[in-house]
Structure 1
């Protein structure tokens, strides 16, 4: 009985949502992810990661820690009873214009696929990055477009704040790359700007498709194709055009951010509405 009560209290804590819980969740997740790589994977392997850039290196240093993080996320979702909710139909849908960021991301991902020198990269390296990308997409989208979006909506926030929180926390996670990777401060700051607006695009993909699986797949096809087309580029005009993809995503996210409307009523989750301003947009609507 005591255990059941404890679990009920654990679930009630997260069910009420809130921006500070979203911040807490992302901070703890990021800490757990780093710990999995540095305190579990690295010591167990004893630094035997293989040659840098090899398929073995990619699988052990990039894919394995994120696979473990995915398992932690699924276990956490089950512990609060959100697994079905996270991957079920969204309580609010979007408008036709929300397909624009989906199209932009898909077009540039396809261009990147066509500008990879597959012979130079090798099938094992390409396959390793695609596999790693799938788990990266699952983890990062489940955290930000899954848990963060849910926590914000459960607190009754407008969708513009939901989008900003999910994108902002997504970008903040990448700020740590200045300490955990060899890239410099300037490159990291640009990455943070890019990931913020990419996060806006993924939020809009979530809205217009109505299911978290689609932002996951879009994200999963983005990271590895960008990396591979950069490291193993075929060169030429198409590759040069593909290099504009990051700027296209930033521009698209920046412009469309101002058109986000709507709010999911708290009673959609069985929670009391509380006091909202009369000007609030009705639940599950978009203008």
Structure 2
């Protein structure tokens, strides 16, 4: 059976592959929910088995704390995603050429790259114990791989195979990405902060989708996302935490407003249906 590169696939394949190759919104939601449950389960199991390694008051206090709290569940998630994508033989499709983007879409990777550079030179690496920075960067690359393969890879592919327009693909994949972060509520995060995080991550999801389109390959969203998150963690000292680095560091102050720009980009992109749809 032949497979199309970006959208629909003949439904002659049966069984496991045939089920997923039909695509659709509900299958995209299903794979995201199942992944989130398994990821949270892996995180709970790791924190239970290796509770002594986690510094609850400061996850970034030691390399072991970062690894168990952040990297370990991501390693499990990455293995699950690799197995899932491999079982469907979708790696060539997910990492193949994407529908052509338009020039204005370069705004998205630029909005991600600028704060990455600012934080790269603005983070006080000396404030962290030996090994913490390296472990955090490793965990960040795992975040980029896992979240982009899931949301801009598998979810996007399922939506396309279900016949969705690229505008719908952008919106739904970004919503899935944003709602995955609502799981922060399970960690005791305040409801208002959870809502703000979901809104922000929707805008960031749109930026990653546009990056996928304009660069033409999933590798670039993975790399940008994989650099953005760990540098944000190191600049704020936490996960999904907003901190004011301006009192001592101008570069971190300049990086802060880009979170608002991601939200603005998400809102603007909602009104660019024709410009988003593939040519």
Structure 1 stretches of 4+ moved >4 Å: none
> Taking structure 1 as reference, are residues 252 and 163 closer, same or farther at Cα in structure 2, changes over 3 Å only?
same
> Taking structure 1 as reference, are residues 199 and 128 closer, same or farther at Cα in structure 2, changes over 3 Å only?
same
Q: Which residue of 1 aligns with 2:84?
A: 76
Q: How many Å separate the matches in 2 of 1:171 and 1:225?
A: 20
Relative to the length of structure 2, the TM-score reads: 0.86
Q: Quick one: which of 215, 220, 227 aligns to 1:214?
A: 220
1:34-73 → structure 2 map (5 Å cutoff): 34-39=40-45, 41-45=46-50, 47-51=51-55, 52-53=59-60, 54-73=62-81
Assess if the C-alpha contact under 8 Å between 2:181 and 2:197 holds in 1: yes
Cα drift, residue 251 of structure 1: 1.4
Q: How many Å separate the matches in 2 of 1:238 and 1:37?
A: 33
- SS state of the match for residue 261, structure 1? helix
Q: Quick one: which of 124, 145, 150 aligns to 2:152?
A: 145
Q: Quick one: which of 241, 244, 252 aligns to 2:254?
A: 241
Relative to the length of structure 1, the TM-score reads: 0.84
Deviations 1:65-109 (A, max 9, x none): 10111011010111111122111222x110011100110110011
Q: How many Å separate the matches in 1 of 2:105 and 2:49?
A: 45
1:25-36 → structure 2 map (5 Å cutoff): 25-36=31-42
Q: Quick one: which of 212, 217, 230 aligns to 1:224?
A: 230
* Higher alpha-carbon Rg: 1
How many residue pairs match? The answer is: 256
Q: Which residue of 2 aligns with 1:95?
A: 102
Assess if the C-alpha contact under 8 Å between 2:102 and 2:275 holds in 1: no
- SS state of the match for residue 203, structure 1? helix
Q: How many Å separate the matches in 2 of 1:195 and 1:174?
A: 8
Unaligned runs of 5+ in 1: 1-6, 264-280
Q: How many Å separate the matches in 1 of 2:36 and 2:89?
A: 22
Q: Which residue of 2 aligns with 1:277?
A: none
Unaligned runs of 5+ in 2: 1-12, 238-242
Cα drift, residue 37 of structure 1: 1.7
> Taking structure 1 as reference, are residues 19 and 50 closer, same or farther at Cα in structure 2, changes over 3 Å only?
closer
